[in-house]
Structure 1
Amino acid sequence: MKKMLFYVAVFLATINCYSQIEFEKGYFIKNNNERVECLIKNEDWDNNPLKFKYKLNHGASKIFNTIESVKEFGVYNFSKYIRGNVDIDQSSDETSELDGSRKPILKKETLFLKVLVEGTSNLYRYKRGNLKRFFYSNKEKSIKPLIYKRYLNSKHNANLSSFNGSIVNKNLNRNFIYVNERYKQQLFKNLTCKTISLKEIEKLRYKKQSLSKFFIKYNKCSGYLIDGQYEKGTKDVFKVSLKGGVRNTTLDIDNSSSFLPSISFDSKTTYKIGVEGEYFLPFNKNKWSLFVEPTFQFFSAKKELPFAFLVEKKIIVETNYKSIEVPIGIKRYFFLNDVSKMFIGGSVVLDFNFDSYLRYTRTDGTILKDFNIKTGNSIGFHIGYVYKNNYSLELTYQNNRDFLTTHSNISSKYSTMSITIGYTF
């Protein structure tokens, strides 16, 4: 454990040395329309920000800028935000909190809206927790909300049409959930072009990808699209890695409530091999990921102990433990440069053992006590280094797993420290 803390300290010190790489070339426009070129801390915001950090150059101090003093800011070739005083629907989209009104609950707010598509008509997105809303502007007109609202309605015989915004999704406590999809009517009325059919608009989903494709197509049809200005951002990515390594294992058996002796086996080095599936979350520049890593591991040991209750005054304790571990956890990455990064993480480790036992025998081989192994879960701590997104080196510590959970008069502490190398496909 002391070694683990040492490595974490070194790692955090390294992170501090490289923190400046998060500032990237960007700009902001003040209220008086003055444009300032600068370096902006690119946090790849999941929720729309109200402020941001910037530097005038690499050697300058960090400064905060807020929505009150900035009307626009952006990180080049990545993202752009526009300040708007807009009507935003405050209605909840959570099924348990739906109301019975088809009308949106509109409230004026000053927000930084993320530019998704820019051209003759612009598409914007706003997100705050579970609240997700889209907006648009057409030519020189003001920014307007695209209306979408789920609501409850008990009238089963509603007269529905293509654009009246009411379609039945499912039954909920004898009330139906309807959807006001007026955004389709808004787009049909205000964004007409010969290459866009009514059928295409009817199929539009109130999702970023669906709406972005529509606005890109409309702007191309209109002959005006600002290439490269719509959202770049980070994408969700799933990767698979082959992993193998060695681990140092310790096992302590506490048999204090039984006549059988307790034992601490000598630490032992074994191997492990596994496959990791990792899903990178689509925000904050893919710095966060969820992972699952099924891994085969084993531990076997045999030790002779003095035992006064037998004629031969000796007892043999033997264990053979094999299992598939399944760590499920989260990682946080820290970029060091263009080709390397480090991470820390934590996991809950599920364990599925097979053909495993703990056995007490006499010196002639007679079995005194045979314990079937039934493992519990444990916690894993991870720290690692990744090079070129393909090669990885990882240090993992797992603490005090009990593999005798079904026996009340005996317990075990199974702990491991492992070093793993990996290759990502």
Structure 2
Amino acid sequence: MKNLITVLFFIIISISASGQRDFEPGYFIDDNDNKLECLIQNEKWLFSPKEVFYKLNESSEVKSFTVKNCKEFKIGDEGVFMRVSGDFPITQSKLKKKELSPDPELSQKTTFVQNIVKGNASLFWFVDNNGIVYLYSKDGGAIKPLLYKKYVLENLIIKENNIFRTQLVKDFECGNQPIIQKTEYRRKSMIKYFEYLNQCSSDKSYVVLERTAKQKANFPVTIKVWAGMQQNNYEAETTNPPTTFSFEDEVVAKFGGELEAFFPYFGYKKASVFLSTQFSKVGNTFVFPSNEANERAFEADYSIIEVSFGGRYYFELAEKSSLFIDLALAANIYSNSIINEITTSNITGSTSTEEIGSSFDDRLGGSFGLGYSYNKRIYLRLGILANQNVLDNSRFIEDKLSRINLSLGYALW
């Protein structure tokens, strides 16, 4: 198992390192308005970037810029990132921190914001631990945050203070139309409204810009694939002769997939529920001590498709690194488990095989996981599954399968 952990450690380091070579054509503008065409590392940031890596060409050294020395940058077809300073509303609704006051709580920031809609009416976007903030500008002027807050009344009714609607009505001639009352503080709704503003002002050249992969809806969903190794320990007690024994631990391959959905009200991508399916197959042999008459052995074969449903919580270590724990209820939706007793006569040399156990499905169990996530893209997880019976209608009084696994996961999106 130690060798397995070492191998998977080097695999995850290699994958992380390969991701560091994902540079795309772009540019950045420094404080002196110098524009530098270069290759910029596209990290598909979970939060608005703080430090961005670039190089002049494929063979040159990697350098970086930050919001302190860069006014604007762009990667490929994605919307331009621009430096903005101002009072940003805290929009993330955390149930334990909701206030009775409808007035937005503001936080002063200097940060990069990304352009979503470019035109006479331009829309921008920013995200960090405090939530998603939308910003706007008119005719290329100053970029201003759009104010919003979700709060709770004394009777626990949740309300929204959509101050941004008043801002837009005040600043745009076409703003005060029925569409503004239906506009929500969400990406699709905001884009639709800003498209309307540009169409109303006869701006036929406006564009909706490409979004980065991490700019998800308020209820982000990811799909992962998992592969790893599992160590199994199978114990059983027989009635004839009365014996308790353990099959030798065996390390086998394990693979599967997972659907994970995040809750927006517990901090951005911190709490989630997941539905996963895993497949594993094991074959073990237990040999009884020989006697003068014969030699006996038990041969166990079982393959299991298991579905787990549970919850997961992430503890952030840094902007891209986090630890997580998860708990799940697991059910075997398919199993093919057989134990054969093999007897070899020392007198005649003949061998006979008798099936002494049959398989069953729909057995419930539990699992616990502890792991590490890099950029919510690469995962390393140690999983422990609760003791579980494997066979029914067998010669055994009791049998028990315990499992521990180490898996490497990758989020497809």
Distance 1:105 1:83 in 2: 21
Of 284, 303, 306, 2:289 maps to 306
Q: Which of 164, 180, 187 is the equivalent residue of 2:168? A: 187
Distance 1:367 1:75 in 2: 64
Q: Is the 8 A contact 1:359 1:367 kept in 2?
A: yes
Q: Distance in 2 between matches of 1:410 and 1:99?
A: 54
Contact map agreement 2:100 2:151 (CA 8 A) in 1: yes
Q: How far does the alpha carbon of each residue in 1:367-404 deviate from its partner, in whole angstroms, 9 at most, with x for none?
A: 999999875537699xxxxxxxxxxxxxx998787435
Aligned equivalent of 1:264: 247
Q: Please tell me whether the aligned partners of residues 216 and 225 of structure 1 are also in contact (alpha carbons under 8 angstroms).
A: no
SS in 2 for 1:198: coil
Q: Secondary structure, in 3 states, of the residue corresponding to 1:217?
A: helix
Q: Map of 1:174-323 to 2, 5 A cutoff?
A: 176-193=157-174, 198-224=177-203, 230-234=209-213, 251-253=233-235, 260-264=243-247, 276=257, 278=259, 292-295=275-278, 305-306=288-289, 317=298, 319=300, 321=302, 323=304
Cα gap change, 1:414 to 1:141, in 2 (>3 Å):
closer
**Aligned equivalents of 1:269, 1:17: Cα separation in 2:** 27
User: Aligned residue for 2:33?
Assistant: 33
Match of residue 61 from structure 1: 61
Q: By how many angstroms is 1:94 displaced?
A: 2.0
Q: TM-score, normalised by structure 1?
A: 0.62
CA shift at 1:291, angstroms? Answer: 7.3
* Aligned partners of 1:323 and 1:351 also within 8 Å: no
Partner of 2:106: 106
C-alpha contact 1:240 1:275 (8 A) present in aligned 2: no
Sort the Cα spacing of 1:217 and 1:277 in 2 relative to 1 into closer, same or farther, 3 A: farther
Give, in angstroms, the shift of residue 31 of structure 1.
Answer: 1.6
Query: Unmatched 5+ residue regions in structure 2?
Result: 263-271, 313-323, 344-351, 372-380, 391-395
Following the alignment from structure 1 to structure 2, what is the Cα–Cα distance between the partners of residues 104 and 248?
50
The residue type paired with residue 403 of structure 1 is Q
CA contact (8 A) 1:318 1:359 kept: yes
Query: CA distance change for structure 1 residues 323 and 410 in 2, over 3 Å: closer, same or farther?
Result: closer
Aligned to 1:119: 119
Per-residue CA distance 1:313-363 (angstroms, 9 max, x = gap): 977646564543136799xxxxxxxxxxxxxx9998835277888989898
Inter-CA distance 323–181: structure 2 relative to 1 (3 Å threshold): same
1:142 deviates by 2.4
Cα distance change on mapping 1:11 and 1:290 into 2, 3 Å: farther
Structure 1: stretches of 5+ with no match in the other structure: 155-170, 282-288, 331-344, 382-395, 419-423
Deviations 1:293-318 (A, max 9, x none): 4356565767552389xx98977646
Change (3 A) 1:313 1:348: farther
Displacement of 1:4 after TM fit?
A: 3.6
RMSD across aligned C-alpha pairs, in angstroms?
A: 5.4
Shift of 1:133: 1.4
Q: Kindly state the Cα deviation for residue 265 of structure 1 after the two structures are TM-superposed.
A: 5.6
Q: How does 1:382-401 map to 2 (within 5 A)?
A: none
